[in-house]
A and B are shown apart, each in its own frame.
Chain A
Amino acid sequence: MKNLYTKLAVDGIKNNSKLYFPYMLSIAGVAAIYYILTYLVSSEAMAFLNGGSVLFIILIMGKAVIIIFSLLFLFYTNSFLAKKRNKEFALYNILGMNKKNVVKILAREALIEGVVSILGGVLLGVLFSKFFELLLCKLCGHEPDFMFYFSPKPIFETIIFFGVIILVLFIFSVFKVAINKPIELLRSTNSGEKEPKANFVLGFLGFVVLAFAYYVSMTIKSPMEGLLKFFGAVIMVIAATYALFIAGSVCLCKILKKNTDFYYSKKHFISVSGMAYRMKRNGAGLASICILSTMVLVMVASTGSLLIGKEDSLRKIYPKEILLTVRMDKTDNAKKDALTDENVANVEAVLDEITKDVPKKNQIGIRQLSSLAALGEDEITIVNQKNRELVNDLDISFVCIYPAEDYFKYEPGEGLKDNEALVAYTGKNVAKSITIGDRQYEVVGKPDSKNMGTAMSALDSASVVVNDFDHYLEFCDDVEATASPVSYVYGFDTGLSDDENVALGNRLRDEVNVKLSEELGCFTTVEVRADEAKEFMELYGGLFLLGIFLSISFILACVLIMYYKQITEGYEDANNYSIMRKVGMTKKEIKSGIKTQTLVTFFSPLLLAGLHLFFSFPIVLKLLNIFGIIDLKLLLSVYGAFFLIFAFFYFFVYKRTVKAYLEIVSY
């Protein structure tokens, strides 16, 4: 008797291999990802993940997401299996097997599934863990370590974690068997489903909301505004996607049906009439897939472009390898008293003295005055106590004013006339003529950030170079502007290695503290690009890797859900296709009909995801600006590349599904 249960369990899995194989493969897939993440976090080779680093936190968070996701996903796919198997169990039941016996079969099935898929997953994980470890090292700019470390702890953790999941799924199926009424299960499923009703109001609403969300994304002006409106737009898009798939699709089918010439043709007749039913059953699933794939694509594409563009954005935020910013004033000082020529000369002398042994290239030394300001196309309003109330909070950003005298010390050029200015905004255009505070200028060009030391801030900001620097010092004092302490920026490139630069930075920090703080009373910050680069690499590298992991599991989920949906439909539709055969439809016509329907169900979510992606572009670009990337071409090509990779993978699964479907309905 014992052997019989095992035999039934093995046969059950074998006979339903179309359902079980992808299921076990997906458990193995998630288990492998889980193992790799656990391994990376605990790996000795990754000693630089010293508990508190950004990367460590990212990986831990990623693991949490994977855990939640795999739970949801496995429950979902398991319910597909349960539906199919329960019919068989109902038959066993009627043949005289009691529910206890069925549970015994289920237990053996779960055991086989669990052992094969978890061990497979761990094996897969072990095989790929070194690869991802090296990849992560490379992404984060650490020296790769080619030694193979083997630690049993992550393996046990993975086995235990997924063992528990399988156990829970098993208990779940036992529960289902317990409440089953066999006679209901044996009854045929297609006992006349009502024709889906078209909800035109909901469909139309979805359309309008989607258009509005796209409009919002297209018209976002600043990163701040983007940050505020982003979530609103995301929620609108999600709601609209569901409305469109659930109601809009059925409406579309109805409209197509009304067009008799279109509807009553060999090509469209079966697919259009079947589509309404399919959409009614699958609308919510397809909408979820659409949203999942949009999220995956946005995530991977943005982290990918951050990573690819990291050198660029690093250079933009830190234009000099070594940068010292000296604050000249104490808080109660008037600005004009702080930045006197004499003070500046003293500071410069000290800095020259302590850096005299350092090879210096592209050196700059420039005074800077920055203030809160409202940036209009032809006017910069310096925010002060009086006009504070009048300015919209959203419009407030920064302006940095530099003296032309300092700027042109390092830039070949003739300097500026008194009524001329160099003006640049982040991500916005400037008019030909501009009013700054109380004076008006002709805009004759844009300043080059490499001559100013500090880059354009990530958020909206403006850089201005004028002759009247002293005037603005006085002006800010007079109107009591909301300005930062004035400062002197001293920076240079060394051409030394990263490690040497870091060491140099540490030495400078010690020395300026003594010489500038104690002797002159200034506060100095020393920024070394090499220091920042490490943080950058860890952050972006970690995010990107996580993006890859999450997208692998999301893609796995997407395509598997599609696959299962189609397969279940295949079982339900098999009878319909045999009817069509008998009525005189050729094999070829049936095949092409199946292809069209599957194509539409498969690719409509991808198509809408592509559209979402396209319209998300402006808002994502603005948000990425916060991190310093503004390279439009890069983002666009990364987006495109990931979309193509995704579509390619998707297409592959589509092909497999059509094949499996045709086998099921094989006429």
Chain B
Amino acid sequence: MNILKVEDIKKTYTSRMGTNKVDALKGVFFSVEEGEYVAIMGESGSGKTTLLNILAAIDKASSGSVILAGNNVSTIKESEMATFRRDNLGYVFQDFNLLDSLSLEDNIFLPLVLKGEKHSKMVEKLAPIAKKLGIEEILKKFPYEVSGGQKQRVAIARALITDPKLLLADEPTGALDSKSTDDLLKVFEKVNKDGQTIVMVTHSTKAASHAGRVLFIKDGVVFHEIYKGEKSNEEMYKSISDTLTMLSRGGEVE
């Protein structure tokens, strides 16, 4: 079953006087099955961040539709956007985006507090997630007291605690060293194995090689895609780098 269906998304930025028009997205089509792990790759300026922002309902498309779990995101009213995002999406950022004034535990609780849940229920929900992510020991600490890898795991816990239909990740390994990156990618794999649908935007071939499918975006359209199938991470890594080389040469793939 499709959990996410993107149809003919276009995004045009117009300069103030209306003289200059820039097409960031020129008609993107793709869909994501429930339980899938999809990576979106592309060069800077390819429009992948714009796409992710539209998926996350932070930005609006100029035309086309995004259907998430049966709801057409583009028809949701501005005032209900935040609530929709809170209930259906989990978002993991490159720079963690944890609030310094809250303990890690409180940072994770934040979306639940906004939802108005009881404290006892929050604690109940947190326990299995904290265990899965290996952050039980550090919950009472503050962001400035832990490493980047730990911060990112806390951010993932915050994204997962609302039990979202879709987990969006924007360069989640961008600010991490290679050891933490490996740990984090394992975490993503584990979470995905438990049934969580993930869409991740990334520059990193290594990060993408863990995904079940990789979409390549170039000049505002989906240019190519690779399925992992039975490939190992290493084989996948190789196919991705080959594709990237092709793309940068500007040549056609197959």
Contact = CB atoms under 8 A, between A and B. Distances in A.
Interface string B173-201: 00000000000000000000000000000
A192 B109 contact: no
A269 B144 contact: no
B113 A264 contact: yes
Interface string A253-268: 0000000110111100
Interface string A179-197: 0000000000011111100
Interface stretch (B15-23, B43-51, B95-103): B95-103
B111 interface: yes
Nearest to B96: A579
Contacts of A193: 100-101, 144
B125 interface: no
A126 B86 CA distance: 59
Interface stretch (B5-13, B77-85, B216-224, B226-234): B77-85
Contacts of B69: none
A14 B114 CA distance: 38
Interface in A243-296: 260-261, 263-266, 269, 273-274, 276-277
Contacts of B86: 583-585
Nearest to B81: A586
Interface in B92-124: 93, 97-103, 106, 109-111, 113-114, 116, 118-119, 122
Given A582-B58, A587-B82, A273 B97 contact: no
B113 A583 contact: no
Interface string A578-594: 01111111111100000
A265 B113 contact: yes
A589 B106 CA distance: 18
B29 interface: no
Contact of B116 (A192, A266, A579): A266
B110 A269 contact: yes
Contacts of B114: 266, 583-585, 589
B119 A191 contact: no
B62 to A, nearest CB: 22
Nearest to A262: B119
A576 interface: yes
**What does DSSP make chain A's interface, helix, strand, loop or mixed?**
helix
Contacts, number: 81
A583 B100 contact: no
Interface in B140-156: 142-145
Nearest to B85: A584
Which of B97, B100, B142 counts the most chain A CB atoms within 10 A? Answer: B100
A265 B113 CA distance: 6
A582 B91 contact: yes
B101 A273 contact: yes
Contact of A583 (B91, B106, B142, B144): B91
Contacts of A580: 99, 110
Contacts of A195: 101, 103, 142
B158 interface: yes
Contact of A585 (B82, B98, B143): B82
A202 B81 CA distance: 46
Nearest to B86: A584
Given A266-B113, A576-B101, A586 B83 contact: yes
Q: Please list the 10 inter-chain residue pairs (A to B) with the smallest Cβ-Cβ separation, ordered nearest first.
A: A192-B144, A584-B86, A586-B82, A260-B119, A579-B97, A264-B119, A269-B113, A584-B85, A277-B101, A273-B101
Given A269-B113, A277-B101, A579-B97, 13 more contacts: A190-B100, A192-B145, A193-B100, A264-B119, A266-B116, A269-B106, A269-B109, A582-B97, A583-B110, A584-B83, A584-B86, A585-B114, A586-B81
Interface of A: 190-195, 260-261, 263-266, 269, 273-274, 276-277, 576, 579-589
Interface of B: 56, 58, 79, 81-83, 85-87, 89, 91, 93, 97-103, 106, 109-111, 113-114, 116, 118-119, 122, 142-145, 158
14 contacts: A192-B145, A194-B142, A195-B103, A260-B119, A264-B113, A264-B119, A264-B122, A266-B114, A266-B116, A273-B106, A582-B91, A583-B97, A583-B110, A589-B82
